[in-house]
Structure 1
Amino acid sequence: MAYFQPMTGDVWAAGDAYEAYVGRWSRRVAPLFVEWLGVPAGRRWLDAGCGTGALTAAIMASGPADVIGLDPSQGFLRSALDATRVAGDAAALPLRDGAFDVVVSGLALNFVPDPARAVAEFTRVAAPGAIIAAYVWDYADGMQMMRHFWDVAAAPNRDESRKFPICREEALRRAWSDAGLDDVRTRAIEIPTIFASFDDYWTPFLGATGPAPAYLASLDDAERRRIRDDLRRRLPTTETGEIALTASAWAVQGRKTAG
C-alpha cells in the first residue's frame, strides 16, 4: 500500500521514540497553529499525517464536530488520541470529495514525495470555503536542535534543509497558490526548546525515528561518538547544564474557493 513514503533510510514507526525526539516540541507548536487558523467550533476536520496526535489534540480542544486523523504509520496511529483514525496516503486520500471544513497537516507535508499532489488532495476533500493549512519545521534556520546536529554530522545528502525544499516560506506559499487557493497567508511559529542536560538533548537522537536519528543509527560507534562529542562542545550550555535553543516552523493557510 502506498502511504506517506518517507525518504530512504528514515524510520517513522515508533511513537514513543518520536515523542522523545520531536513530538514534545510539536505539541507546543500545534495549539499556536490552531489559534492562528481561527476556526469556529463545530467544524469537520481532517488531520493528514496526524502522527502521534499533537495537532489532533489541539484540534479537539477547539470544539470540533468531528476529527479524522490520517497517517501511514500503524505505530503512530496506535499512539494517537481517541479520534477517528485512518491509515492512508496524503497523495491519494481514501476520503470523499468536499467532506471537511478544515484540512490540516502538521510536520508531515515534506515527507510526501510529491507535496503538490498532497495539496491537491487536501483541496479535493475540502468543502467550498474550507480552510486548508499546514506547518513544517524550518530546517534551514529555525529548528536549532537539528541544525546543530547536521552541521556537526556533515552529511549534506541527508540534511533535512536540503532534502525538503517545501520547508521554506516561499515554497509553501507557491504550493498553496498553485493549488488555486484564495487568501494565502504564511507565518513563522517559534517556541523555546529547553533541554535539561546534554543527555536530554542527545538521547532522543538514539531512537532511530526520524531522518537524523536514522542516519545516526547507520553509523559505526566511532562516528557516533565523534558526533556526540562535537555536539557536546558546540551546544550553548548554562552553568546548570541546560541547553536553551529555539524551534521555528513555517505555517501556511488558504481557502478553497466558495461556490
Structure 2
Amino acid sequence: MAGSATKLWASGDVYEPYVGRWSRVVAREFLGWLDPPDGLDWLDVGCGTGAMTEAIAESNAPKRLAGIDPSEGFLAFARQRLQDRAELRQADAQDLPFGPSEFDRVVSGLVLNFVPNKERAAAELWRVARPGSEVALYVWDYAGRMEIMRHFWDAAIALDSSARELDEGRKSPICKPEPLQRLFEGADFKGVETRAIDIPTVFRDFDDYWTPFLGGQAPAPRYCMSLDEEGRATLRERLRSSLPTRPDGSIHLVARAWAVRGRKD
C-alpha cells in the first residue's frame, strides 16, 4: 500500500480543498453512528490529514489516540493540526505496527479502496482490536452518489471513452454495501452492519468545484491534468453546462459514503 498510496496522495494542502473539507463532515456523522463512550483507546487506520483523528479527539475524549498513514506529507499536515493530541506513525494498513488487542475502537476512513490486499487489512483491523470492541470504516460511493466525482467521470467518459478505465466507480468495486459486508464477515467480525452516510456538498460557484481538479493528486485530478489545454477546457465547459447550478451560481451536490461496522468477540 505504501508505494501506491503515497504516489496518489502526497500533499495535505492539495487534498483539503478537493476531498478533505468533505471528509471532515463525513467523519463526524460516522462517529455519531458509532456513538462510543468516552475514555477509549482508538486507532485510526489511514488517518490521512487527520480528519477523523481530529473528530475523535474533539468529541470522544479518548484515553489513547493513535493513527497511521503511508504518506509522510499527509502525516505532517495532520501533526500540525493535532499537535500532541495523537500519536501518528507512518505505516501500512496491511501491516499495523501494534500488538494484538491494543485498541477499544479501530476505525478507517476513505482508505480501503487504496489497499491492495483488503482481506489482509481487515485481518489486521481484527488483530489489533480488543475482544468485545468494535471496528468500523467507510468509503466513498464512487459508482453512485459521490456526486463530486460522479459528475466529473460522467463528463470525462462522454468526451473520452478511454476514461472509463480510470473511473473510480469501476475501479473500486469494494465501495458498496454487499462487498463491505462480506469482507467483515470473512474477517470473523460479528453483528456486521452497513449504512449510507449522505452529506451535502455545496460549492459557492463553478470555480469552487473545478479548481481542486487542477491539483493533479488522486485519480480524477490526475486524469484532468493529463489532458492537453484544449482537452481540459472542453471537459471544463462540459461540466459547467451539466452541473446543477442554481441562479446564484452555487452548486448543491451530495457526497455519499458507505460505512460498515462489526464486533470482535
TM-score, with structure 2 as normaliser: 0.93
Within the alignment, does 1:106 sit opposite 2:105 as a pair?
A: no
Aligned match for 1:209, one of 217, 242, 248: 217
Structure 2: runs of 5+ lacking an equivalent: 158-162
Separation in 2, partners of 1:237, 1:15? 28
- After superposition, the C-alpha distances for 1:57-114 in whole angstroms (9 at most, x for unaligned) are 1111211111111000001000002321000010111111111111100001110011
Aligned equivalent of 2:100? 97
Q: Does 1:136 align with 2:139?
A: yes
- 1:248 is the counterpart of 2:256: yes
Aligned residues of 1:91 and 1:118 also touching (Cα < 8 A): yes
Match for residue 31 of structure 2 among 26, 29, 34: 34
Determine if the alignment matches structure 1 residue 63 to structure 2 residue 66.
no
Question: Which residue is equivalent to 2:160?
Answer: none
2:2 aligns to what? 3
2:76 to 75, 78, 82: 78
> Could you list the per-position Cα deviations for residues 194-219 of structure 1 after superposition, in whole angstroms to 9, with x for gaps in the alignment?
00000000000101121111111222
* Contact kept in structure 2, 1:4 and 1:111, CA below 8 Å: no
Q: Separation in 1 of the partners of 2:236 and 2:192?
A: 41
Equivalent residue for 2:121?
Answer: 118
How far residue 222 of structure 1 moved from its aligned partner, in angstroms, is 1.4
Deviations 1:33-59 (A, max 9, x none): 011112111101100000101111111
Write the distance in 1 (CA, Å) between the matches of 2:229 and 2:252. 27
Q: CA deviation at 1:11?
A: 2.1
Verify the 8 A CA contact 1:4 1:71 in the aligned structure 2: no
Q: Which residue, 173, 194, 197 being the options, matches 2:181? A: 173
**8 Å contact 1:123–1:132 — kept in the other structure?**
yes
CA distance in 2, matches of 1:11, 1:178: 28
Partner of 2:245: 237
Q: Which amino acid aligns with 2:89?
A: V
Distance 1:6 1:157, change over 3 A: farther
Aligned length: 254
Report the Cα offset of residue 6 of structure 1.
3.1
Give the C-alpha shift of residue 246 in structure 1: 0.6
Matched residue SS, 2:106: strand
Tell whether the 8 Å contact from 2:192 to 2:263 is kept in structure 1 after alignment: yes
Q: Cα RMSD (Å) of the superposition?
A: 1.2
Distance 1:113 1:5 in 2: 9
Task: Give 1 or 2: higher helix fraction.
Answer: 2
1 CA distance for matches of 2:39 and 2:3? 29
CA contact (8 A) 2:5 2:71 kept: no
Distance in 2, Cα, partners of 1:109 & 1:11: 14
SS at match of 2:67: strand
Cα deviation code 1:158-179 (max 9, x no counterpart): 1001111110010111100010
Report 1 or 2 for greater relative contact order, CA contacts < 8 Å, sequence distance ≥ 6. Answer: 1
Instruction: Give CA-to-partner distance per residue, 1:120-144, whole Å, 9 cap, x none.
Output: 1000111111111000000111100
